[in-house]
Amino acid sequence: MTGVSMRCVLNRRFHLIVLVLSLRMLDNISAATNSDGIKVTLLGTGTPFPNAERFGSAILVEGAGTKLLFDCGRGVVIRLTQAGVSPKEIDALFLTHLHSDHVVGIPDLWLSGWLLGRSKPLPIWGPQGTSSMAKHLAQAFGFDIHIRQAAPDPLPAEGVEIDAKEIEQGEIFNDGLARVSAFLVDHGAVKPAFGYRIDSANHSVVISGDTKFCQTLVDFARGADCLIHAAWSASWKNPAPPSMRSIASAEDAGRVFAIVKPKLGVIYHYKTEEGLSDAVRKEYNGPFVIAKDLMVINVGKTVTWDGKSAADTTPDGDKSRR
């Protein structure tokens, strides 16, 4: 081989090595970026009333490689699949309360996750009654479980177990990367009902669950980057007097946003969008958005939703939500 040919070979090898190292650096940068904040996917923003555009309450929170699901309403496995997440990948499920529209998707999440490869118990945290519900789910689906554990291709027995824990207010989950704290909220006659605060990578997200205006929510949400608040409708759209309501009005949510001042407020679990924006704006002039199913919020040094900056949700940018 001539000297020129040798130099060409060495140059090609050098460039190949540089390319490989560059790709590895990009992978490392991507991994660092993905672990440097919290990703929130609003899987379901709807209500007990069936709506093909808005499935039941369910919020996926991803941070530092952990996938946490909050509530498990109608259609959750379909929405997870649309978001590119397998039900077997859910590390933990947290329930705000046991109304059917917040738990009816549990059998699908639990059994589909098992079918698709989960080999360890599904951990569920929730209010009093969660353990009993989990026990009776195993009884209700006993036939399916028995068949899928039989030859010739038995699924792993541990994968169909549910590890149910009943909670009180305070820190309930901490894997060293993500921390979840539960707090009591006021959902009328539904007691106990909880909201959740998630802290990871020096950022925080708060989920109100179903509640009226609640001081405990305000206290736990202080300093949060993103506050996701249920609001049934604008007050004038709700014929029930305030004393008889079990869930916040849009005005109530606006009051909470105004006190807490999150980088982004989010309205979800609303019956009708009519009047919501104007009602929130009566109380709050900061950034907020009305959630849609599969909306993605990235919480980091800045907060963006579906690629838009929270700054786009100031009064001048309200139309960007529609």
213 in Cβ contact with 255 (< 8 Å): yes
**To which residue do tokens 């329930």 refer?**
95
How far is it, in rounded angstroms, from Cα 248 to Cα 242? 9
Is 101 among the catalytic positions?
yes
| Catalytic hit among 101, 225, 252, 312 | 101
CB neighbours of 27 closer than 8 A, spacing ≥ 6? none
How far is it, in rounded angstroms, from Cα 287 to Cα 265? 6
Nearest alpha-carbon partner for 175 in 32, 63, 34, 59:
63
Helix (H) or strand (E) holding 258: helix 250-260
How far is it, in rounded angstroms, from Cα 228 to Cα 299? 12
In the chain, DSSP finds a helix count (H) and a strand count (E) of: 9, 16
How far is it, in rounded angstroms, from Cα 23 to Cα 1? 31
Q: Which residues are catalytic?
A: 101
